[in-house]
């Protein structure tokens, strides 16, 4: 089983905060892949489903961010899972907005949700890091992560979350490198097809004489 954990703060006040991008991604996965309805379990909202070949329990802790580890630890112990069976989706200040990375283990880099999970299950779990960018000043970080995604950023983050949901079966199969490649292709498709299309249009215009007229 894969324990898929989205990090965020509960309640409508925080719903569109940058800090809640983990919740947004898990919500999109649950919707796209027709998981069972959310229900209260393990100090969380939990939904069961499948991704690829794996049974999955998706979690949205109903504790605040800095107590997320209580929910993860409770679910882990109930199902007798190892930390390596856990994938946590969370916001990351150290990545440019709209970028993502997967890593196994490592430090929490000051993220209170990860810090709490480390305290409850150790560090040997996977993290899907979703970049939200940095405000540029350490003093502004708290307000920045707890502010809403701006209108200018909305389309970018919506596209990121949709791409993650589309490619999520690869997470269930443990094909993490392939997942990263597929998401990257969705977010930034190759340009060669557009170039070829324009070249064909130019060639057609040359053969039919339909290019622009010039006065000499």
Q: What distance in Å separates the CA atoms of residue 140 and residue 133, rounded to the nearest whole number?
A: 12
Compute the C-alpha angle 176/56/107, nearest 5°.
Answer: 50
Q: Which of 79, 39, 81 is nearest to 59 (CA)?
A: 39
From the candidates 19, 33, 90, 111, give the one annotated as an active-site residue: 19
19 among known catalytic residues: yes
- Maximal CA-CA distance, the chain: 83
CA distance 94 to 115: 16
Transcribe 87-101 into DSSP letters. EEEEEETTS-TT-EE
d(CA 22, CA 160): 11
Is residue 105 classed as helix, strand or coil in its secondary structure? coil
Instruction: Cite the active site residues.
Output: 19
């Amino acid at each position: 089983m894969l324990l898929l954990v989205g990090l965020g703060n509960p309640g409508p006040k925080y719903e569109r905060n940058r800090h809640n991008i983990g919740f947004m991604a898990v919500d999109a996965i649950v919707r796209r892949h027709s998981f069972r309805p959310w229900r209260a379990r393990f100090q969380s909202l939990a939904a069961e489903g499948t991704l690829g070949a794996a049974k999955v329990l998706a979690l949205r802790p109903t504790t605040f961010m800095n107590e997320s580890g209580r929910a993860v630890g409770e679910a882990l112990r109930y199902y007798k899972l190892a930390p390596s069976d856990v994938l946590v989706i969370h916001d990351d200040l150290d990545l440019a907005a709209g970028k993502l990375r997967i890593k196994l283990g490592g430090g929490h880099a000051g993220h209170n949700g990860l810090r709490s999970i480390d305290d409850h299950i150790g560090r040997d779990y996977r993290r899907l890091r979703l970049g939200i960018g940095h405000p540029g000043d350490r003093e502004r970080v708290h307000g920045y992560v707890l502010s809403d995604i701006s209108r200018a950023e909305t389309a970018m983050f919506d596209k990121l979350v949709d791409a993650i949901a589309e490619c999520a079966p690869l997470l269930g199969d443990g094909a993490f490198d392939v997942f990263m490649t597929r998401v990257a292709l969705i977010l930034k498709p190759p340009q060669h097809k557009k170039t070829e299309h324009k070249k064909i249009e130019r060639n057609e215009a040359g053969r039919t004489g339909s290019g622009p007229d010039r006065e000499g």
